[in-house]
Structure 1
């Protein structure tokens, strides 16, 4: 039997984060929700999603994420993992860190 998968959407520093996790529960700390067993895509190929990589760098070593209840936008139980994202809270557009291009010689 497959583990339950949750899509957790929350606000952080003016951005909307969308992460996937296997465990979501009321926290032992009053007013917080515990999110654990975060799920990230594992790519062995050449193409790497920069947003997924950024989220893995930020939350990859996190055992349990304690989110204040007022920062949570939505928690959904989903059948399969979609693409994790970081969006601007005001516009809803994805926040993408551009790949650095080589500068022109002077």
Structure 2
């Protein structure tokens, strides 16, 4: 393969932030999603095993293509080479920034509810 690009995709999934590396990424035909294919994980020849990357490997085991909602994407970078993927917990701080509400979290009342 002649210098195939590598992308680092960072997105939020519930209360976790996923950082994955992939060879293919594009806008989906399904409106509001991006498609991520050909996930890249580090080599197992290392002596130290990263538990976060192992969790990612098991999460995406057998996945050919992943559809990620656009509002979940934090950042996409084209990088020179793959790194170590990871999962981290979202840290909350008091401030003026709030997470986008997810469906089912709160439903405003309507006149028919009365």
Regarding TM over 0.5, the answer is yes
| Structure 2 unmatched ranges of 5 or more | 93-114
- TM-aligned CA distance change 1:5 to 1:87, over 3 Å: same
C-alpha contact (below 8 Å) 2:25/2:36 kept by paired residues: yes
Shift of 1:11: 0.2
Say which SS state the counterpart of residue 80 (structure 1) adopts. coil
Shift of 1:45: 4.8
With normalisation by structure 1, the TM-score equals: 0.80
Q: 1:70: which partner in 2?
A: 71
Distance 1:46 1:79 in 2: 24
C-alpha contact (below 8 Å) 2:15/2:89 kept by paired residues: yes
Q: How many residue pairs get matched?
A: 91
Q: Which runs of 4+ in 1 moved over 6 A?
A: none
Bigger CA radius of gyration: 2
With normalisation by structure 2, the TM-score equals: 0.74
